[in-house]
Amino acid sequence: MMKRTGQLLCCLALLTGSVQPAISQQKKNREIRYWLTSPDKSIALQQQATTLPFTTQDKNMATIEVDAATKFQPIDGFGFTLTGGSATLINQLPAAQQDALLKELFLTKGNGIGISYLRLSIGASDLSASVFTYDDIPDGQTDPELKHFNINEEKKDLIPVLKKIVALNPAIRILGSPWTPPAWMKTNNSFIGGSLKPEYYGAYAQYFVKYVKTMKAAGITIDAITIQNEPLHPKNNPSMLMLAEDQAIFIKDHLGPAFKKAGVKTKIILYDHNCDKPEYPLTILRDKAAYPYIDGSAFHLYGGTIDALSIVHDEFPAKHLYFTEQWSDGKGSFSHELKNNVSKLIVGATRNWSRNVLQWNLAADAHWNPHTDQGGCSQCLGGITIDGQSISRNSSYYVIGHAAKFVPAGSVRIASNIAGPLDNVAFLTPGGKTVLIVVNTDAAAQDFQIKVKNKAAAASLRSGEVATFVW
C-alpha cells in the first residue's frame, strides 16, 4: 500500500506540479536556516550551509522556547540616521557604485540588509560639515512669518540620495529630528544651547509644518518627527535645551493644533534622549491637553538602562516607544560593539516595547568625518566607512542587518525566554516566518535548543557570536 501511495503521489506531481512544492515547504518547516556573524568578523552575516532540523526529541539542554501565540508590539523597522555627512559621502560615489551600495543597504535580495527605517536631522546635526537651519538670516533680524524658509542645503546631497532610497523602498519609514531651531528663535541667538523663546513657539510650530510639506513636495514623506534631539544636552553643536514642561506647552498649544489645522498626519514623538530620564516623557504624557497629539516617546542609551522604555509603556500602554539613536565607537572593537549593541538594542529595546531600532550613523569617512566643531562627535563610527571609493562594513552594519534583513515592517514581536547568557528576541513576519535573533554574551561557547511546541532543534554559538534563525 505504501508503494502504491508513493507511485500515486509521483504521478499527481507530474500532472499538477503541486506535490513537490508542498513537500519542499513541509521540509522547510521542519528545519531552521540561520545566518551568523562571528566576533572576529571571519563570518559576517553569512548563511550557513547546514540547517538545523526540528525533532520531537527534547535534548535536555539550555532551551529558548518560542511562542508565536503570545504577541507584543508591531515593528516599524530597523536602520540608521542618514546624517548630512552620510548623504554627502554616498552622493559623491560614482553612479554605478552608489547604485549598488544603495541596493545593498535598502533591499534584502542577495547580500542586501534591507534597512527599513531612517532618521534625518531637520537642518544640520553634529555629523554635518557645517551648521545650518532652514531659516538662517543675518544677526539681529527675525523672520516670524518664515518668509526665508528653504531646504536648499538639503538639495545638494540629502534629497538626491533620499529619492533613490525611496525609489528602492517606497514604504521606508522616515523620522525627522531637529538639533536646533533657527538661532533667531532662541534665547542666546546661537546654534549651541539656549532655549526656544516663548514668543516664537507658534513660528516654530509652523517651521515643522513647512518642513513636512516641503519634503513631501520633494517626494519624501516624513512619517514622524521628534521635537528636539537630546533636549537635556545643550552643549552639542548644534543643540538646544528644552525642558519637559516647555515641550508639553509647545505640543498642546502650538505644534499639535498647527498639525491638525494644516492636515499634517506626521506623528509627534517626545523626548529623543537617554534612558536615565523616563520622567521627561511621563511628565508630558500626564498632561491631558498634550496627550491626544502624542504618538509616543523616543530614547537613546548613553545613560540609564533600556528598561526605562517599559516604565513609560507600563503607565501609558496605548502610546508607542521608539529607539532612535546609539553610536558605535570608532575606537572600540568590532566584537564589543557587535555583542553589546545586539544585546542592548536589537534584543533589549524591542523586548522593552520599541517599535524600531536605529543606530547612529549610516556612513562616515576613515577619520570619522564630517562633523561640526565645538562638540560634534569626533569618533562616531558609521555603519559603513566610505574612504574615497573604498567601502568597508562596520559593526553596526551587521547589528542592524541581523534584524532588518529578516524582520520587515509589519512583523510582530512574539514571546521567547532568555536562556542564561543567550540574549534573544523573536518575531513573526507578515509572511508567516518565525525569526529568532540570538547573541551569546558569555565568555564560553553555548549549546542550546530552540523549542517550538513539541519540537526542538539543537544549536550552538561561540562566545560573542550573533545568529539569526529563520523557519
- Structure letter (DSSP) for residue 118: E
Question: 263 in the Ramachandran plot: left (φ > 0), alpha (ψ -120 to 50) or beta?
Answer: left
Comparing CA positions, the residue from 264, 252, 326 lying closest to residue 293 is: 252
- The catalytic position among 153, 325, 337, 465 is 325
Residues contacting 399, CB < 8 A, separation 6+: 328, 337, 338, 341, 342, 345, 346, 359, 466
Helix (H) or strand (E) run with residue 299 in it: strand 296-304
| Catalytic residue flag (residue 465) | no
Grid coordinates of 307: 528598561
Calpha distance 407→434 (Å, rounded): 9
Closest CA to 180 of 167, 193, 168, 169: 193
DSSP-H helix ranges across 92-221: 95-106, 158-168, 201-217
Pick the catalytic residue from 230, 245, 279, 315. Answer: 230
Q: Tell me how far apart the alpha carbons of residues 69 and 418 are, in angstroms, rounded to a whole number.
A: 17
337 is catalytic: no
Radius of gyration of the chain from Cα atoms? 24
Cα–Cα distance between 298 and 81 in angstroms, integer?
14
- Per the CB < 8 A criterion, the answer to whether 380 and 358 are in contact is no
C-alpha cell at 32: 531552521
- Is the bond preceding 370 in cis, omega lying within 30 degrees of 0? yes
Distance (Å, whole) CA 126 – CA 12 = 65
Shortest CA distance to 352 belongs to which of 321, 326, 325, 396? 321
Which segments of 156-252 does DSSP mark as H helices, in order? Answer: 158-168, 201-217, 244-250
DSSP 347: I
E-only strand ranges, 400-445: 412-416, 422-428, 434-440
H or E segment to which residue 35 belongs:
strand 31-37
> Residue 378: what residue type?
S
Q: Are 423 and 436 in contact (CB under 8 A)?
A: no
Q: Which residues are catalytic?
A: 230, 325
